[in-house]
Amino acid sequence: MGSEAPIGMTSCEDGPLRLMAVHAHPDDESSKGAATMARYAAEGVEVLVVTCTGGERGDILNPAMDRPEIKADIAAVRRQEMARAREILGVQQIWLGFEDSGFPEGDPPPPLPEGCFALQPLQVAAEPLVRAVREFRPHVMLTYDEKGGYPHPDHVMCHRVSVEAFEAAGDPDRYPGTGEPWQPLKLYYHMTFNKERIEALHAAMEKAGLESPYGDWLKRFEERPAPWAVTTRVPCADYFETRDRALLAHATQIDPDGFWFRCPLEVQRQAWPTEDYHLARSLVDTELPEDDLFAGVREKVCL
């Protein structure tokens, strides 16, 4: 398909438009909203990924990387992977410095490790993010919904600190000593794995005579309906290949022969050429549905 037309103005009186995406672990930025970020970055928007934890307790999910020397220094390896991914996406990235909580499994699940991100008091966990918001001054923020997208304790905490930072960063009386107040204008939740998208990809795979990997997902939607509706679909199919290269940069987490790559790019581009979001907070007027995260923002700050 041809190149997508630019969405609109990216530079205003106080500089470029700015987008902040808050994620729990390295690799989350490449599996949720990566093509959106790559598109906006290519069009001149400043994009900052905030990674809350180092991913130290993530399992090695790529058999080719399951080696003793990698396990021995997994935190350093994941930082190296993140550096490659952010370069591929063309974005900036910072670490909040919290410790990965891990995903507790079992019945009952074991307690979370002492000092981990998910056990931090909200004000302690949110303070460095408030500082980052006041320094970077994003117009738009991206995060997960209150269930974390899936119930990983770090994803749930990521939601909590993102909402706290969105609501507190503009208030001069909150979080003193973290910089001059700055109020972001819109907050979105990722809706990457929404039912309509998965249904479309499933149907497109079957139409192409390919075995679909999405059957079990569709059953899960019947058991757990999505809590939020999609309000915003950002066209970014031209950047799906960039997204996949960023995913592959996280080699300990992403198996090149695994689930993420079973649906051919051309099928994805034809069946569902957008990445999708729910507009959770807006301090500007905008008309739904949207095709631009900066809808209403451009009109307010780029006059």
Q: Is 155 annotated as a binding residue?
A: yes
Q: How far does the chain reach from its first CA to its final CA, in angstroms?
A: 33
Q: What is the 3-state secondary structure (H, E, C) of 152-182?
A: CHHHHHHHHHHHHHHHHCCCCCCCCCCCCCC
Its pTM stands at 0.95
Domains of the chain: 16-193+228-262+273-301 (3.40.50.10320)
Q: Is 152 annotated as a binding residue?
A: no
The amino acid sitting at 53 is T
Q: Which residue has the tokens 């993420």?
A: 260
Q: What is the pLDDT of residue 226?
A: 77
Contacts with 100 (C-beta within 8 Å, 6 or more apart), sequence order: 25, 53, 54, 55, 56, 57, 58, 116, 117, 154
For residue 188 the two structure tokens come to 């979105």
Q: Quick one: CA torsion of 228, 199, 262, 268, rounded to 10 degrees? A: -90
CB 35 within 8 A of CB 221: no
CB 17 within 8 A of CB 186: no
Q: What is the pLDDT of residue 9?
A: 67
Q: What is the pLDDT of residue 1?
A: 34
Burial pattern 128-155, b for ≥16 Cβ within 10 A else e, equals bbbbbbbebbbbbbbbbbebbbeebbbb
Residue 43: closest CA among 78, 69, 9, 2? 9
Q: What is the pLDDT along the chain (303 residues), one digit of tens a residue?
A: 334 656 666 777 778 999 999 999 999 999 999 999 999 999 999 999 999 999 999 888 888 888 888 888 999 999 999 999 999 999 999 999 999 999 988 878 899 999 999 999 999 999 999 999 999 999 999 999 999 888 899 999 999 999 999 999 999 999 999 999 999 999 999 999 899 999 999 999 999 999 999 988 888 887 777 779 999 999 999 999 999 999 999 999 999 998 889 999 999 999 999 999 999 999 999 999 999 999 999 998 986
CB 166 within 8 A of CB 134: no
Phi-psi region of 52 (alpha: psi -120 to 50; beta: other; left: phi over 0): alpha
DSSP strand pairing (92-98 vs 140-143):
unpaired
Q: Is 190 annotated as a binding residue?
A: no
